[in-house]
Structure 1
Amino acid sequence: MAQYWLMKSEPDDVSVDDALAAPKSTVPWTGVRGYQARNFMRDVMRIDDGVLFYHSSCAEPGIVGIARVASTPYPDPTQFDPSSPYFDPDSKKESPRWTLVDVQVLKKTRNLTLPEMRSIPELADMVVLKKGNRLSITPVEPKHWRFITRLLGA
């Protein structure tokens, strides 16, 4: 059974437009350095799971695209690159600490902003809207996926 996710990206790192411009509109989801988000990618995500592509740390955070998980998990190469801001000197190639999945953008949407999401009663219990939530990847309930994709015409 398909699962659904909200995955945050800073548009200065990888925007929905960057992903659409990439070969097959697919990008590796590099740089995740939170254990819970890593565990979602490593242990739970499956190819074809739905993804709400979310821009964070920008003027108007919000959902800007519909995507899908496009690969099985594999080691994040940025953890081994000393020139990367995501370098982890304690991670070893024979036992990598950080994994990623590839994400393929299927459709760019209008920005469903965080304030707009907060104003919609049907979305009130979404994980991303809970006080104190800072996770870069959160599960999305099927009812929220259906509501949001309908709202965005996806």
Structure 2
Amino acid sequence: MNYWLFKTEPSECSIDDFARNPQQPIVWEGVRNYQARNYLRDGVALGDQVLIYHSSCKHLGVAGIVKVVRAAYADPSQFDSRSVYYDAKATVAQPTWVAVDLVYVSKLSHLITLDKIKSSAKMAELPLVQKGSRLSVMPVTAQQWCDLLALQ
């Protein structure tokens, strides 16, 4: 099993959205960065655990945990001309973008804030705190996962 951190704007998809219907998968779509896409396509696997990180909001931080229940498949939003994620160059035969399905595992008792993460020496190698790292999908080592959750 691998561990990941996915960044999301809570106004689009928050840990509370997952918690509302804990058994109902949510399609993780709209990733439009090639490196993040490659992580989704080549790294993220069935059963992997994912930290949901709320970004572009007042309270930045890790809010909860979800699990991958369907590995990479063609992101349906790339074919929908009404979607903000539409990609006119993508074809069904040659999809450019992928999605994964996630289900709720748990909401953290306290948000692990970005400030708290940055202040931990153990988190220095975490991609989230690396200068210039803006990926929405990033790997987390097993040790980083444990150290992050210990910050609650």
**How many residues are aligned here?**
151
Task: Verify: 1:125 aligned to 2:125, yes or no.
Answer: yes
Per-residue displacement from partner, 1:89-145 (whole Å, max 9, x unpaired)?
A: 111112111111111220011211111110111112111100111100111011111
Tell whether the 8 Å contact from 1:54 to 1:65 is kept in structure 2 after alignment.
yes
Q: Partners in 1 of 2:13 and 2:4 — Cα distance? A: 17
- What is the identity percentage for the equivalent residue pairs of Structure 1 and Structure 2? 40
The TM-score normalised by the length of structure 2 is 0.94
Listed as ranges, the matches of 1:47-62 within 5 Å are 47-62=46-61
Task: Verify: 1:146 aligned to 2:143, yes or no.
Answer: no
Tell whether the 8 Å contact from 2:22 to 2:104 is kept in structure 1 after alignment.
no
Q: Partners in 2 of 1:115 and 1:3 — Cα distance? A: 25
Q: Partners in 2 of 1:149 and 1:60 — Cα distance? A: 17
Listed as ranges, the matches of 1:62-101 within 5 Å are 62-101=61-100
Tell whether the 8 Å contact from 2:22 to 2:103 is kept in structure 1 after alignment.
no
Q: Partners in 1 of 2:134 and 2:98 — Cα distance? A: 19
Tell whether the 8 Å contact from 1:20 to 1:26 is kept in structure 2 after alignment.
no
Give the CA deviation at 1:58: 0.7
Per-residue displacement from partner, 1:31-87 (whole Å, max 9, x unpaired)?
A: 000111111111111111111111111111110001221112111111111111111
Letter matched to residue 30 of structure 1: E
Q: Partners in 2 of 1:75 and 1:23 — Cα distance? A: 23
Kindly indicate which of the two structures has a greater share of residues assigned to strand: 2
Task: Verify: 1:7 aligned to 2:6, yes or no.
Answer: yes
Q: Partners in 2 of 1:133 and 1:104 — Cα distance? A: 26
Tell me how large the CA RMSD over aligned residues is.
1.3
Is the partner of 2:70 in helix, strand or coil? coil
Q: Partners in 2 of 1:73 and 1:83 — Cα distance? A: 22
Is the partner of 1:101 in helix, strand or coil? strand
Is the partner of 1:71 in helix, strand or coil? strand
Unaligned regions of 5+ residues in structure 1, if any? none
Q: Partners in 2 of 1:63 and 1:57 — Cα distance? A: 13
The TM-score normalised by the length of structure 1 is 0.92
Task: Verify: 1:113 aligned to 2:76, yes or no.
Answer: no
Give the CA deviation at 1:25: 4.5
Q: Partners in 2 of 1:20 and 1:91 — Cα distance? A: 32
